[in-house]
Amino acid sequence: MKQVSDKLFIAPQLTAGDILAAKAKGIAAIVNNRPDGEEPSQPTSSENRRIAQTEGLGYTHVPVVPGQITLGHVTDFQAALARADGPVLAHCKTGTRSATLYAIGEVLDGRMAKDDVMPLGQRLGVDLSGAVKWLDANNQ
């Protein structure tokens, strides 16, 4: 689990144990950015939603296919962060899609400059070049 901001943490695919550990660390909500069935062994969104809700955590599924981010994905991700009553743990296969959605949203909302996206990725150990490419392609 890597801290992106005061409100957001990212992680690779979560298991039931990871969700319980996240709750113990003060996470209030989970955002799953991974489409179901991406890998045969991954838990489904409905399985992880059930565990999160049983533990009293919010849960949102914003599935993103790598390289196919839309403005709708970004706004859904931002909405999930905004409605959470505390820190959010967003996950996908590696955490990169979650960090990408965050970075795009921050630039669109004027809280981050596009020039700050790559340094954020370097700090987190994820490649955010896709976020910069998305912003460039969408005239941001």
* Per-residue pLDDT tens over the stretch 55-75: 999 999 999 998 899 999 999
pLDDT beyond 80 at 140: no
Q: Which residue stretches of 42-137 are H helix? A: 45-54, 71-83, 96-108, 117-124, 129-137
For residue 128, pLDDT beyond 90 = yes
What does the pLDDT read at residue 139? 80
pTM for this entry: 0.95
State pLDDT tens for residues 107-122.
Answer: 999 999 999 999 999 9
Out of 37-46, 55-64, 97-106, least confident range: 37-46
Q: Which residues contact 78 (CB under 8 A, 6 or more apart)?
A: 105, 109
